[in-house]
Structure 1
Amino acid sequence: MAPRLVDTTLRDGEQAPGVAFSREEKLRLVQALIAAGVPEIEAGVPVMGRAEQQTLRAIAATADPCCRLISWGRMHPADLEAIQALPIRFANLSVPVSDLQIEKKLQRSRSWVLETVRRFVREAMDLGMEVAVGGEDSSRADLDFVLRVAETAQAAGASRYRFADTLGILDPFSTFRSIRKLRRAVDIEIEIHAHDDLGMATANSLAAYRAGATHISVTVNGLGERAGNAPLEEVVAALRYGSQIDCGVPSASLPSLSRLVSEISGRPVPDAKSIVGRAVFTHESGIHVDGLLKDPRNYQAFDPNELGRSHEFVLGKHSGPRAIQWSYRRLGIDLSLSEAGALREPISAFVSARKRSPKRSELLHLLSATIVREGSRPSLPAKEMATRP
């Protein structure tokens, strides 16, 4: 069975420094996520105050019933009171489970954590809620204690345990071992909430799924605290193209979701960002371009058309004759491979000096200069010939 995605861009994503969404922006994002088929959305933190609560009510009023909305809160009376006043009936109640955070942040004990889980799960259920217990800092906790917390949550009636790699310290191997033990200990749903501090949030999320996790927490563009969270687009693509698992979110929806979140967060998407970066289907290397021109499958992990994209070729220091030939053909100029080969050094020198690919007029100038130097003239369209010296 494919994992269910839990998008937390509106909650954990908005916790990224300097990021703040307006109500209108949150509503736009919720509608875009629902349209993309995201099954669960962690919509916000009710205890933040009246404005957040009004926004959550507006989201609940417009959201499609097929999408489950989730409120996030601490295991604290004020949080539970704020959550129960809203029409969102699924609550993610968080509590630290590592000894470091229990002792240094809460100044409490393990027994206090277990009793708190029992109390708040039961109270939330008495209020008609479904509950996920969020184990903050699970990855740095004693795993035996994590199992006790999850077992306590299940016994109290919780339907899910969120295993949070709060500081992003896991690797796929340790993730798999931890989630496999957790899966064997409880029958409830298990959600992996991976942060990307060491660059392994996507890999850890996939490892958790392989070990038995039923849900994967994601954010669009990986937006989140510090290095962010597991990116929605990476998890969707890795499942589909790496594991042939369809989690219900079409590839075609990923670029527009990425652009929307980039716009409302003020965080530009890096050109080389996997899946949604501007340059991820752009090729310069002569070996790659030659292979792609012969058959795209030579250097294509998946068809960019599925994302509404296409391969693009640019001329650079590493371009070979076929790439040069292709580029000039787009200008209506047919070059032989030997003529294209004669342009390799001039183009390489241009790019090394300018740090960019040559534009149309510059390609024509380079060709003219090469014609004069080599004493040959390729077949040129009349309108291009008119520009030659």
Structure 2
Amino acid sequence: MRTIQINDTTLRDGEQSAGIAFTAPEKVALAILLDEIGIQELEVGTPAMGGAEAQAITEMTHLGLKSSLLSWNRAVRSDISASIACGIKRVHISIPVSDIQISAKFQGNCRLVLERLRDSINFALDKGLYVSIGGEDSSRADESFLLDVALCAQDWGASRFRFCDTVGILDPATTSEKVSKLVKALSIDVEMHTHNDFGLATANALAGLQAGATSVNTTVNGLGERAGNAALEEVVMALKRLYTIDLKINTRRLRELSQFVVKASGYPVPPWKAIVGKNVFAHESGIHVHGILQNPSTYEPFTPEEVGWERQLVIGKHSGRHTLLSLFQQHGIHLTREETQSILERVRHLSVQVKRGLTVEELLNLVSIKENSSWDCITPAK
């Protein structure tokens, strides 16, 4: 892979998730946080919406951020003018390229698509802007027409072409094949924009980068239309750990970033969410915990500290003796093998009853109850 750039679109495509609406202060604060951790480019929103959206974007342009700020626009002059009014210097112009999208938005007139594209690129360049072009629904477009659009955009002065898997219908092999053809035909950068309708957004984004794309759209926690986009934390850590590409992003703040977006969006991440979910470094299985206590790399691909987390040993149905012994020893309690096995059986029974792992308090109560030979008096914590 060549030099890779993250273009995070949490502030645009992420906020387009159904039911999500960031306030202007939240958008500004999120831009600052993304900038602080080292994200190279931010797609900050759609200035043509006006109102609070334009206000927030304008404020971002006055912050002096190191991240490059990019706005999203339709291929119409008024959208680009709205971006200029906000102080934006880099514009992304989206144009439909598949038959189904062109039919719905341009009455099937492919010539009109190209005319609008040329006009908007010329207008933006005349204003001294950096221009990125997005092929909406590239994955379902006729490959010859897609290439014609991309080559025209390049000839007319665009600096980047975004390959969009708008409805998330690709797999990694097909993504690689399609993107490779674009990369070979173009001298400008190719950017990946993938959706997660089949759970393949991150895999497809990485496949596109392997095929020669140099920029990739992400969203924090994988927010986005329908099933979401490629998750920032997944793409960054996969590049870092699987491909040894360090983007100089402060991964120790990924959990902090994730939790900020959880609060702003009102939507939590599942416990098993890759990289930032609360169960990613939680271990309950007896075999796993035994291994973790000996050497954490037995069941962890990287340390929790690398992404701002802490390791958790959970006591529950699948726990083993080593977990119990370790926890009780931390509290100065030493049990015989028989006592440990007896308490372990009670732990497994109780965790099924309460449908979760047990708290430290509940576990210490079990020891006290065992000493009093009265199992039935335990009351689980609420």
Question: TM above 0.5, one fold?
Answer: yes
SS at match of 1:161: strand
SS at match of 1:191: strand
1:331 paired with 2:331, answer yes
Maintained 8 Å contact 1:322/1:337: no
Cα distance, 1:24 vs structure 2: 1.0
1:132 to 1:31, Cα distance in 2 relative to 1, 3 A: same
Pairs within 5 Å for 1:94-133: 94-133=94-133
Maintained 8 Å contact 1:132/1:162: yes
Query: What TM-score does the superposition give when structure 2 sets the normalisation length?
Result: 0.93
1: distance between equivalents of 2:308 and 2:359? 25
Alpha-carbon displacement from aligned partner over 1:71-109 (angstroms, at most 9, x marks no partner):
111002321221233321111000110001101333132
SS at match of 1:343: helix
Pairs within 5 Å for 1:77-92: 77-92=77-92
2: distance between equivalents of 1:351 and 1:345? 10
SS at match of 1:121: helix
Cα distance, 1:202 vs structure 2: 0.7
The residue identity in structure 2 corresponding to 1:175 is T
SS at match of 2:12: coil
1:287 paired with 2:287, answer yes
The residue identity in structure 1 corresponding to 2:357 is S
Maintained 8 Å contact 1:322/1:340: no
Cα distance, 1:373 vs structure 2: 6.6
1: distance between equivalents of 2:282 and 2:363? 19
**Match in the other structure for 2:309:** 309
**Match in the other structure for 1:213:** 213
Task: State the superposition RMSD in angstroms.
Answer: 1.7
1: distance between equivalents of 2:361 and 2:219? 43
Cα distance, 1:332 vs structure 2: 1.8
1:156 to 1:337, Cα distance in 2 relative to 1, 3 A: farther
SS at match of 1:15: coil
Give unmatched runs, 5+ long, in structure 2: 375-382
The residue identity in structure 2 corresponding to 1:266 is G
2: distance between equivalents of 1:211 and 1:225? 25
The residue identity in structure 2 corresponding to 1:294 is Q
Cα distance, 1:370 vs structure 2: 4.6
Maintained 8 Å contact 2:255/2:309: no
User: Which deviates more from structure 2 when the two are superposed, residues 323-332 or residues 174-183?
Assistant: 323-332
The residue identity in structure 2 corresponding to 1:36 is I
The residue identity in structure 2 corresponding to 1:79 is D
Pairs within 5 Å for 1:54-65: 54-64=55-65
1:161 to 1:45, Cα distance in 2 relative to 1, 3 A: same
1: distance between equivalents of 2:120 and 2:337? 73
The residue identity in structure 2 corresponding to 1:121 is I
Pairs within 5 Å for 1:236-315: 236-315=236-315
The residue identity in structure 1 corresponding to 2:147 is L
Once superposed, which parts of structure 1, at least 4 consecutive aligned residues long, lie more than 6 Å away?
Answer: none
2: distance between equivalents of 1:63 and 1:227? 33
Give unmatched runs, 5+ long, in structure 1: 375-389
SS at match of 1:62: coil
SS at match of 1:91: strand
SS at match of 1:10: helix
**Match in the other structure for 2:193:** 193
